Amino acid sequence: MKTNINLKILLLGLVFIVGSASMVVAQSKDWVAPKDADTINNPFAGNADATKAGKKKFVQLCAICHGDRGKGDGIAGAALQPKAANFTLVKIQDQTDGALFWKLTEGRAPMASYKDLLTEDERWQLVNYIRTFKK
């Protein structure tokens, strides 16, 4: 009887470990927005005022993980898995505004969803500011 309980605990622990490892492996892959996100147009493209507003939001909400220069080296980002995105990388900057907007909207652990926290305009402003990290 006791052996049965120990065996069940062992099996439950293995299921947890395998499940956790699968989640880490799945999330270590590149995060790709759905293709239809690429068709979403940025209503604030090239708008300097929107970019300035995006910087304010970035400092308030994003820099803690993504760092002041957007390199993914913020103090809270050090412990994240997967790591916070480095916005200076070509693979980030090559994404469409719509894809970046979709990611800000939907989130993916540990990245928060900003769908309910920020307005659409604020999310687009962040997209504009993220563009300033292009090398």
Q: What is the pLDDT of residues 97-120, one digit of tens each?
A: 999 999 999 999 999 999 999 999
Percent of the chain with pLDDT over 70: 79
**Nearest alpha carbon to residue 76 among 31, 113, 110:** 110
Predicted local distance difference test score (pLDDT) of residue 17:
46
**Six-digit token string for 133:** 């990290």
Task: Look at residue 3 in the predicted model and tell me its pLDDT.
Answer: 63
pLDDT of residue 1: 60
Q: How many residues does the chain have?
A: 135
| pLDDT of 88 above 70 | yes
Whole-prediction pTM: 0.78
The dihedral through the CA atoms of 99, 66, 87, 55 has a sign that is positive
Sign of the torsion formed by the C-alpha atoms of 52, 109, 43 and 87: positive
> Which tokens belong to 31?
């995060």
Residue type, position 98, single letter: G
